[in-house]
Structure 1
Amino acid sequence: MTAAASPPELLRAPLVVEFPFTRSLGPVQSAFLSGLRERVLLGVRTCGGTVMVPPAEYDPVTAEEIRELVEVGATGTVTTWAWNGRPRPHQPLDTPFAWVLVRLDGADTALLHALDVPGPESVRTGMRVRVRWAAERAGAITDIACFEPYEGPAAGHGTPHDGAFADAVTGIVAEARLDYTYSPGRAQTAYIKGLSEQRTVGERCPSCRKVYVPPRGACPTCGVATTDQIEVGPAGTVTTYCIVNIKAKNLDIEVPYVYAHIALDGAGLALHGRIGGIPYDQVRMGLRVEPVWTEGGRYPDHYRPTGEPDADYDAYKELI
């Protein structure tokens, strides 16, 4: 009796996805963030009289524009909470804390932030808290360092505010970041290991017979598992392309350059790659190309012309 082959070891690696972007602020958000810098908490009164903190620029019920600013208190009541025993980088506190929704005095909605307490036994719905301001403030939600327990009287009950601040905050850079451990799964593990050997490996659908590169483990059209590994390429055909005129951060490539969809020989759909070794204005549909591997041969750095005649349109039109 033959022992079954053990499955290949799956790859795992840390992955960070970041997308910081710059946005301008309208009068309401500008007043809110400018107020935080000055230790003033502002909400906005809706058409129905509800005071929203954080403020919105349009009424969530009627969709009408709202501009009536209201100053609320720096104290409030916890409406619900969840314990965070393992803070992640860039969170408000680097020690365990509670995420809390706090209805500030004078507000009708709740603000999400961190509560600094020694343990989950110290948190309860209905407990009173107050803002702990950051020592240095710049006009951001981080100007509230966190909340802390509070037993004193309420402070602030919905006082009108004109929203005027010297040197108002008019724009922010919003930091979006996700970091986690990623495993590409069985199919893409085989694909990545193939690239390390300068081979491009796809998988064929047993139903429609398309060869998918990179493989996905299942056919997106038929919904059946793909297990038959097929080596494709290395050469392929440019099916369509775009000219890039904006230099990307941390990408050492002179503009303009070309990114193209490339149908590798034997593949059932095109993958994308950069075209090099030819002036950007000479790239064209049907151009035959081959990979140029990175130093160490881990993956194709770009694709260059093979010198072959261009492929006939009928040979790749179904792959556009």
Structure 2
Amino acid sequence: MATCRSKKPPFINQVSGHFANNELYSDITLRFSDGTELSAHRVVLASQSGWFAQQLLDIEDQMNKDPSAATATATATASASTPPTDPPASSSSAARPGLMITLDLPTDHSHPSLLCALITYMYTRVYPSLIPPTDPTEPKAYTALRHLRLYMLATEYRIPAAQAAAARRVKDYLDELFRIQADLLTDFVPFLFGDALAPRRFERDEHGLRGWVAERVVEAGLDRVEACEVGRLVREWPGFGVEYLTAFWNRRKKQIEEETLQGFFCPSCDCSMEIVITGVKERGARKSSAISVVRSSDGGGGGGGTAVGAFDKIEGGGGESGGGGADGGGNLIKMCPNCQGPLEKQAIK
């Protein structure tokens, strides 16, 4: 007998969206810091948020200690980093259908509208655009910052699905901003590594947003982000310096592993250099490769300064072009750009 595989989402996802901000069958009232109240359902909150699951367990424990209480009001003061514990083996309050409780949400953030959007997401599983309807032409940087704050809330309330969705949206916005202007990306360094997200500091980076920004800066090189700007960011936010150096080393290691970074030494002028091969050689065909100096150092024997910059394009198969060429051993350059002396390959350390 053939098995019918339905592509419909789970039943809870099909029906829960109809109860978002709906008093029908609600059994909990969420009170925001500005006094706004939102009707919700404990089964939805506890099943998708570790923070709400912990708070509801604490409320049940309080009601078990006072069975005569008909209602319960709880103020959520527990740390968001405290993991939820397993529910008690026997709970008399769990068998109390229709009991309405009120939960006061934390007041250590000033964005109740974002928290409301996060709670709605737990019902609908539709990630919000966070573009204000009254100002659809708002700068994308402001919208990206709003998604970053929502990511922090999803991390604090331990909602993995919303956390991952917000992280993807932040990266999409920052990538688009970086294509427009490099400064629009580096402007987010104070928010990711400093205290600019007051009153809450960005601390739990579970999706690598900090490392991702550092990688984009390293990939762009000095063509997009000036050295003085990188130096300022490193001095003001040491955490960015750690991520930047890590990303830089990872890229260098990848270049070495892919054999796109080669080292050369000139015994005539005691000059050493590293070149990056931006082209690739394909089997059965020749493809031009452009090489450029990554680093060079001159000792006491050579004359003049060392040439640091881009070389002319040369053929990857054989022969010579301009001042260098590919020899039979696979060297893409044979003559020193500083003294025109012969070059020797050296291992990169």
Q: TM-score, normalised by structure 2?
A: 0.21
Larger strand percent: 1
Larger helix percent: 2
Structure with higher RCO (Cα < 8 A, 6+ apart): 1
